[in-house]
Amino acid sequence: MILSTTKELRLHIPSNAIDEISSLQGILDNSEKDFLRDKLGDSLYNRLCEYYLTISPEDFFMAVSNGEHSKQPWMQLLLMAQRMVTYDAMSRFAYTQALSINGAGINMASSDDYGTASKDLLDKSVQGYKREAMVSLNQMLVMLEGWARKMETPAPIAEADTTEPLPTEKEGETSPTEPEDEQHKAIEEISVLWQESQYYYLHHDLLIATCADLQHYLDIYESREKFIRLLPDLHFIQDEYISEAIGEDTVQHLLHTTDPNDKPLLRKVRRLMVAHLEERTTILTIDKARRAAAHNEAIALRTSVLRLMEMRKAVDAANNTPTDKPSTNTTDSTGKGYENNQPDSKIFVSPLLY
């Protein structure tokens, strides 16, 4: 469990009047296992639970209240995870809490201090909790993605310091860089563990590898959760349509290339994938007219991709290395002029005009 007190619950839903967190334990546990665990992955989720056991809920509440948690990556992750779980649990809890089960049957629960919520208000609150749960999920994934990108970026090499060395620290003093080192280690551990989750932001085997990549070509409101749900469609499109059109070797080349000259082809292939995605997916809300337009665009883009590949082949053939180029000498060893239309000939030599 990553939430055990009503104070922590109040960080996310200030209006709650729950006296005992035990009345929510089962629902909170279900939300953790069903809504949070797969987003973090088993390893990171278990490590977060271990971290929660090492801190005091009271200290955590105070750290969030005074902003000190922003210096502790594990506390930041815990706060985001709690918010996800709380809103998801409330969406599950609202309808069942409105009922009272007793020996005589099932009745509407009521309180002398509060009026009974109408069905319309209850429905709106449940939808609101669900929406906030998804917003919290996206915020957590964006935070994790930022940390993971930070770990992938090599640290700049420090220039040689020609100034005089600073005085040696006295025993018992703390280096000002130690907190930063601790933060870096925590972020590194979190990022490594998160790589085991299917929700890890980078998918090396796809030409559209991240949510940010897809957002360039299709507006999905930068929803990381929606991008993950689109992965089966993207894998199908790449395996069945793209590989069939341009060849598996070209797909593998585009997955690993760092050559700037490959960017135009990669952009066109990604647009082709997005056109197929709009045509076939059921995850996105796309009307019939747009699906038909996407189908026509896919046909045109496929032709454009193949044309670009042929142009690249022609350029590559013309720019072969000297060892691979056919001889441009117009006379052979017998002294005869070069004869056109010979086997394996790649050039045409015009006759001399004088």
If the chain, 354 residues long, is cut into consecutive pieces of 10 residues, what is the mean pLDDT of each piece? 93 85 90 96 97 96 95 97 96 72 62 67 89 96 96 59 52 59 95 96 96 97 96 97 96 95 96 98 95 97 96 84 44 50 54 44
pLDDT at 118: 75
Q: What is the pLDDT of residue 22?
A: 87
Residue 122: the pLDDT is 82
Among candidates 1, 5, 2, which has minimal Cα distance to 19?
Answer: 5
Strand partners, 206: none
Burial 262-276 (b: 16+ CB within 10 A, else e): beebbebbbbbbbbb
Can you give the pLDDT at residue 317?
Answer: 83
Whole-number pLDDT of residue 2: 95
Q: Are 230 and 281 in contact (CB under 8 A)?
A: yes
pTM of the model: 0.79
Token pair for residue 35? 């809504």
**Cα dist. 65→2, 9, 32, 68 in Å?**
18, 13, 23, 8
Contact 167, 130 (CB under 8 A): no
Contact 190, 149 (CB under 8 A): no
Q: Residue 332, Cα to own-chain centre: how many angstroms?
A: 61
Instruction: Give the pLDDT confidence score for residue 324 in this predicted structure.
Output: 42
Q: At what angle do helices 73-97 and 119-152 cross, to 10 degrees?
A: 160
Torsional class of 221: left (φ above 0), alpha (ψ -120 to 50), beta (otherwise): left
Per-residue pLDDT at 23: 82
Contact 24, 18 (CB under 8 A): yes
Question: Are 265 and 209 in contact, with CB atoms under 8 Å apart?
Answer: no
Q: What is the pLDDT of residue 179?
A: 76
